[in-house]
């Protein structure tokens, strides 16, 4: 897997958020996007998934140009996003939510195996398998949303603000799981900088739609200027 964004300009309507942004992600990398509200974290994710059109520049995934591909077509290439605010299908059962995650797959046996695997990993999903997903707690829904995305066997997993509205205990569970994933590249857009840096090796610091810094998470934690701006000293 390789993802390259070259000189990307994108935004909403006439308002451009990203201005000629370059970003490369290699196989197996886990990267945090760090930045204040409006810095462009979610916009980058939406440009990668195709939820917003890219006005300039080029996105290539495994060498293939993504221009003009709808989000559902990009899923088939292996790009899957866990949306901010979880967005489980509220009236579908937990199990059906997981199966929908595997919508693009044709290997039935593999899907059953994965279903079992994630229910094993998160016993609460097995216990509530037949309940409508809308009845789960916020944290449970977040686990479901992550597991649902993984059911697609993505090559690249994009995760948008997973800590949003979760209790500290659930934040720990979700992040430690994200940190334990292997065989998939992860891009994490997150306000909770400490948690994000704990589970990713690298971090990209964004401000006003441009990249200020890209360095290892450990290095960034030592950076006095960064700590002042993003961690409160």
Which residues of the shown chain bind other proteins in the complex (CB under 8 A)? 49, 51, 70-72, 75-76, 80-81, 83, 85, 87, 89-92, 96, 99-101, 103-104, 132, 134, 148, 152
Closest to other proteins by CB, 91 vs 176, is 91
Nearer to other proteins, 156 or 205 (CB): 156
Q: How far is the CB of 49 from other proteins (least distance, A)?
A: 6
Shortest Å distance, C-beta 87 to other proteins: 4
User: Residue 215 in contact with residue 203, Cβ under 8 Å?
Assistant: yes
Give the shortest CB-104-to-other proteins separation in angstroms.
Answer: 4
Cβ proximity to other proteins, 100 vs 212, nearer residue: 100
Q: Which is nearer to other proteins, 80 or 195 (CB)?
A: 80
Q: What is the dihedral of CA 213, 218, 219, 220, to 10 degrees?
A: 40
Instruction: Quote the tokens at residue 128.
Output: 């509530």
Of the pair 102, 217, the CB lying nearest other proteins is at 102
* 224 CB neighbour count, 10 Å cutoff: 8
Task: Report in angstroms the alpha-carbon separations of 158 from 112, 132, 136, 150, 185.
Answer: 23, 25, 22, 11, 8
Show the DSSP H helices in 70-203 as ranges: 71-77, 94-101, 108-121, 123-127, 138-150, 168-180, 193-199
Minimum distance from residue 102 beta carbon to other proteins (Å):
9
Please, what is the minimum distance in Å from the beta carbon of residue 157 to other proteins? 12
- Residue position matching structure tokens 């695997």: 117
């Amino acid at each position: 897997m390789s993802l390259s964004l070259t000189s990307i300009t994108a935004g909403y309507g006439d308002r451009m958020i990203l201005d000629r942004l370059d970003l490369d992600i290699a196989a197996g990398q886990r990267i945090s996007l760090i930045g204040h509200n409006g810095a462009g974290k979610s916009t980058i994710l939406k440009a990668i998934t195709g939820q917003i059109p890219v006005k300039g520049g080029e996105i290539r995934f495994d060498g293939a140009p993504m221009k003009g591909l709808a989000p559902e077509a990009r899923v088939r290439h292996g790009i899957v996003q866990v949306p901010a605010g979880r967005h489980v299908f509220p009236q579908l059962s937990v199990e059906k939510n997981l199966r929908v995650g595997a919508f693009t797959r044709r290997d039935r046996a593999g899907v059953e195996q994965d279903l079992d695997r994630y229910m094993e990993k998160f016993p609460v999903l097995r216990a509530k398998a037949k309940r409508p997903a809308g009845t789960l707690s916020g944290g449970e829904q977040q686990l479901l949303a992550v597991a649902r995305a993984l059911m697609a066997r993505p090559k690249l997993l994009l995760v948008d603000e997973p800590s949003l509205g979760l209790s500290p205990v659930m934040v720990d569970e979700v992040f430690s799981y994200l940190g334990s994933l292997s065989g998939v590249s992860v891009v994490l857009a997150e306000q909770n900088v400490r948690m994000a840096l704990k589970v990713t090796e690298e971090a990209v610091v964004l401000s006003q739609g441009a990249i200020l810094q890209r360095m290892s998470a450990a290095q960034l934690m030592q950076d006095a200027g960064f700590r002042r701006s993003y961690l409160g000293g």
